[in-house]
Structure 1
Amino acid sequence: MTPRMLKIATRSSPMALAQVERVRVELDAAFPGLRVEVVPITTSGDRHLGPLSQLGGKGAFTKEVDAALLDGRADMAVHCMKDVPGDRPVPAGTVFAAYLKRDDIHDALLHPGGRRLEELAAGTRIGTSSVRRVAQLGRLYPELECVPVRGNANSRLARLEAGDVDALLLAVSGLERIGRSDAVTQVLDLETMCPPVGAGVLGLQVREGDEQAHRYAAELADVGTWRQTTAERTLLHVLQGHCNSPIAGYAYTEPDGRLSLRARVFSPDGKTILDAHEWADATQPEVLGTSVALTLLRLGARQVIDAIPH
């Protein structure tokens, strides 16, 4: 018998609430009559506008949501997988039961004058706090100036409109979720801007042993996304990068069914770049993620990562 209500915890930003709405719509289609209550939580990462390293990294966006799941205030949590730490296990007592079908993994340039990245003048102020984006811009466009900009996508767009920065770099998927695809000037190719692990993926986290919540999540699961995300997060776990480590990578399914994983480790200025790209049977994502990580470590990734202050 379908329970009367499912409580879903999420960050309280407009984008996070839009993500939960997608989950609610998909649950409604799969389980008619199920009532969903959203439990919005303002995390320490949302409140703090300084470097994430001051809060211990990406976990600043997830730990309060995890707590709501563990103490019973919620039955499920929705996370952007790019915000979930990959260098340590998920909190004991919880598990990611499903990943939804993946959204766009590209980054986008937003410029009020409609200019493309290669058309920007030296000294143009690019708003981003992502060490991954800063490193890749430094590699290809060292003449541009990166300006730290934290906060949710809406607040960053407000900073751009106020003239605090000349342009922004944001995720295409995030802009689509808040209905601001119109702001995109240029979608950057994956060679120019390799995405973060978990880009475009929404994960459904539940308590271990909660069979009902597992059943709901499983109905929304996408097998291809599960394999891709597992390969990527295995890579991150083996590399043991910290929040200041510019690490990028994405997996995809080839037409012949094999799973491919491309990954890069950068120095903060982008002058050092380690690159690995391998393939494996689609049913062995952990093997692929581990193999690519070990290749990067053989190339010197440990020394690059450990040399970065955090």
Structure 2
Amino acid sequence: MPDELVPTHGEPATVSTYLGRMVSDRPPLRIGTRTSPMAMAQARLAQRLISDTADLPTEIVGIQTSGDRWMGDLAELGGKGAFLKEIDRHLLMGRIDIAVHAMKDVPGDTPLPEGTAFAAYLPREDVRDVLVVREGSKYQRLEEMPPGTRVGTSAVRRKAQMLKHRPDLHVDRVRGNVNTRIARLDEEKRFEAIVLNFSGLRRVGLEHRASELIAPEVMCPAVGSGVIGLQCRTADAATVELLRLLDDSPTRTHITAERTMLHGLRGHCNSPIAGYAHTTADGQLSLLGMVFTREGGRFAYSQEWDSIARPTELGAYVAADLLRKGARGIIDGIPH
């Protein structure tokens, strides 16, 4: 069971208990996050929600990670985990009380540190990717761009899917936070456009730069896209109970299905794996999963439905179906 919250034992703490302890015994609740503009915006959102739930003093602790400092290929640092290990260390050592993570950056092949769990998933935001064209471009949509057009992205998942639909494009990796990538797009004119996540673009107030919203059916999102997870120490019962008040049940259902699939596939940091769960109009839980080669030439695809009460079972089934369709060979054929 991935990322399950370990139940507390004995009588659960209440927010009132927590408030009394905070005022009398503890400094402000410390919310740890990366220092990028988007990560800080996510932390401020969590801070506002906590303040709306309980009248508690809080502070945001910015933590610069090795992933933020490194401008090369993330695979050389061990993948997306480079964004988490320093924050995990601060949480385990008691330097922060809550860690704020974009769930799309939480690896599927590495277990959470023992004694921690995601006590809350905030309501999911828009999962779609968007096209952002450079200032002065005469194009607005991918379909308008001629063969050989250079498009940048930070994700092998996006590169694989773009090349699957448009193998005539020239797609390269580009690193940096959202603000930096857009600034470089405009200044360097190396790319005609870049592809980003819409909810992240909106968090930093740059949604006006989106020229095309790309449907999930065309570009399946990353597992956990649009979801902010709040992680804490399971032994800190008061914080667990406080964060549980912020937990969004539909989002937990969807993220459980997606991450169960991801765990089942055992993909590494360079694996182009996409997954998207949602509740259909008739109340069923749908899960779409895809695995690609890095250039999009080969892929495995599966979409199944189940009861919303069975996200773990659905995630495991879709993972098994993808493996039956050749996903293991695709994943193992991509260098770590």
Q: TM-score, normalised by structure 1?
A: 0.97
Give the Cα–Cα distance (whole angstroms) in 2 for the partners of residues 140 and 256 of structure 1. Answer: 30
Tell me whether 111-120 or 215-224 shows the greater mean CA deviation. 111-120
Corresponding residue for residue 125 of structure 1: 150
Corresponding residue for residue 9 of structure 2: none
Corresponding residue for residue 43 of structure 1: 65
The one of 230, 249, 252 equivalent to 2:256 is 230
Q: Is the 8 A contact 1:279 1:288 kept in 2?
A: yes
Corresponding residue for residue 195 of structure 1: 221
Correspondence 1:160-179 to 2 at 5 A: 160-162=185-187, 163-179=189-205
Corresponding residue for residue 10 of structure 1: 33
- The alpha carbon displacement at 1:124 in A equals 1.5
- The alpha carbon displacement at 1:147 in A equals 2.2
- The alpha carbon displacement at 1:164 in A equals 3.0
Corresponding residue for residue 66 of structure 1: 88
Q: Report whether the alignment pairs 1:245 with 2:274.
A: no
- The alpha carbon displacement at 1:148 in A equals 1.9
- The alpha carbon displacement at 1:59 in A equals 0.4
Give the unaligned 5+ runs of structure 1.
none
The one of 24, 36, 55 equivalent to 2:47 is 24
Corresponding residue for residue 288 of structure 1: 314
- The alpha carbon displacement at 1:100 in A equals 0.4
Q: Deviations over 1:238-289 (max 9, x none)?
A: 1001111111010001223221100101111111121101111111111110
The one of 147, 157, 169 equivalent to 2:182 is 157
Q: Is the 8 A contact 1:159 1:165 kept in 2?
A: no
- The alpha carbon displacement at 1:209 in A equals 1.3
Q: Deviations over 1:43-89 (max 9, x none)?
A: 11111111111011110111111111000100000000000011221
Corresponding residue for residue 54 of structure 1: 76
Give the Cα–Cα distance (whole angstroms) in 2 for the partners of residues 159 and 166 of structure 1. Answer: 11
Q: Report whether the alignment pairs 1:274 with 2:274.
A: no
The amino acid across from 1:15 in the alignment is M
Corresponding residue for residue 284 of structure 2: 258
- The alpha carbon displacement at 1:154 in A equals 0.7
SS in 1 for 2:118: strand
Q: Report whether the alignment pairs 1:115 with 2:140.
A: yes
Instruction: Output the aligned Cα RMSD.
Output: 1.0
Tell me whether 10-19 or 108-117 shows the greater mean CA deviation. 108-117
- The alpha carbon displacement at 1:167 in A equals 0.6
SS in 2 for 1:289: helix
Give the Cα–Cα distance (whole angstroms) in 2 for the partners of residues 258 and 80 of structure 1. Answer: 26
The amino acid across from 2:151 in the alignment is I
- The alpha carbon displacement at 1:123 in A equals 1.9
Corresponding residue for residue 14 of structure 2: none
Q: Is the 8 A contact 1:15 1:174 kept in 2?
A: yes
The amino acid across from 1:224 in the alignment is P
Corresponding residue for residue 246 of structure 2: 220
SS in 2 for 1:88: coil
- The alpha carbon displacement at 1:127 in A equals 1.2
Q: Report whether the alignment pairs 1:181 with 2:204.
A: no
SS in 2 for 1:160: helix
Tell me whether 94-103 or 123-132 shows the greater mean CA deviation. 123-132
Identity within the alignment, %: 50
The one of 127, 140, 161 equivalent to 2:165 is 140
Give the unaligned 5+ runs of structure 2.
1-16
Give the Cα–Cα distance (whole angstroms) in 1 for the partners of residues 284 and 89 of structure 2. Answer: 37
The one of 104, 126, 143 equivalent to 1:82 is 104
Instruction: List, as ranges, runs of 4+ consecutive aligned residues in structure 1 with deviation greater than 6 Å.
Output: none
Query: Which structure's CA Rg is the greater one?
Result: 2
The amino acid across from 1:30 in the alignment is T
The amino acid across from 2:295 in the alignment is D
